[in-house]
Amino acid sequence: MFVLCKLDRSMTMLLVDMKADGVSVGKPDKKMGNHSQLTADVYFENVFIPSEQLVGDEGKGLKAALTSLTLGRVGIGACGVGMAQAAFDFAVDYMQNRSVFGKPLSNYQYWQFRFADYATQLENARNLYVKAAITQDKKRPSVANQCAMAKLIGSALAGDVARDAIQVCGGYGFVKELAATGQQFPLEAIYRDSKIGEIYEGANEIQRLLIARSIFGKDAVG
């Protein structure tokens, strides 16, 4: 695993063999969602790292870590769009087949307008992370700003769409599995999983700060 270490007064990135002497991993954390991505404490006790496992240049590990965070935001934006699209598709199918007061839910203008807005936001969010990825591939200077925007919009949209999808699907949105039939429903998991997107790779508040800095400058924003 990559480990960012304090060395003298700077940060250095090292590649640590997880099977090396002195490396141990604690039990996986129990989390609200994102269960497929395990997190746990890692312990080091007198671990020796050979010089060939230095990543990049000594003292420049923080820059490497921040670069990785920036690029990771594109992926989080894409994941957010994927979750939002999945919740959107499930809810649309449900609304077309579920009748309330004698007509399908899809006939009610409130939900028509709500999901028309979400369809537009999905298209915008998808275009944004694709544009950020292209910007990175072409090494254009605006990449950090676009990565921040892609992460901010994609991750927030996943939670918004999942929440309203659960609302319109009612009990079938809230339930995970029906005991009587064993039928499973995806929305509760999408809703739980979506939240971490607003937190990791820099919380969305940080993304707004970065975007504001690109508009007003570092002297004004900090």
β 99-100/54-55 pair status: unpaired
In terms of Cβ atoms closer than 10 Å to its own Cβ (0-12, 13-18, 19+), residue 118 is buried
Give CA–CA dist 191/167, Å, rounded.
Answer: 11
Q: CB within 8 A of 137, min separation 6: which ones? A: none
Q: CB within 8 A of 53, min separation 6: which ones? A: 14, 15, 16, 17
Q: What is the pTM of this model?
A: 0.91
**Residue 111 C-alpha from the chain's centroid:** 26
Give CA–CA dist 75/151, Å, rounded.
Answer: 8
Q: Which domains does the chain have, with CATH numbers?
A: 2-55 (2.40.110.10), 64-221 (1.20.140.10)
The candidate with the shortest Cα–Cα distance to 207, out of 135, 120, 149, is 149
- The tens digit of pLDDT for each residue in 154-198 reads 999 999 999 999 999 999 999 999 999 999 999 999 999 999 999
Given CA atoms 45, 46, 51, 56 in this order, what sign does their dihedral have?
positive
The values of phi and psi at residue 142, to 5°, are -85, 10
Residues labelled as active-site residues: 201
- The tens digit of pLDDT for each residue in 104-131 reads 999 999 999 999 999 999 999 999 999 9
- The tens digit of pLDDT for each residue in 61-117 reads 999 899 899 999 999 999 999 999 999 999 999 999 999 999 999 999 999 999 999
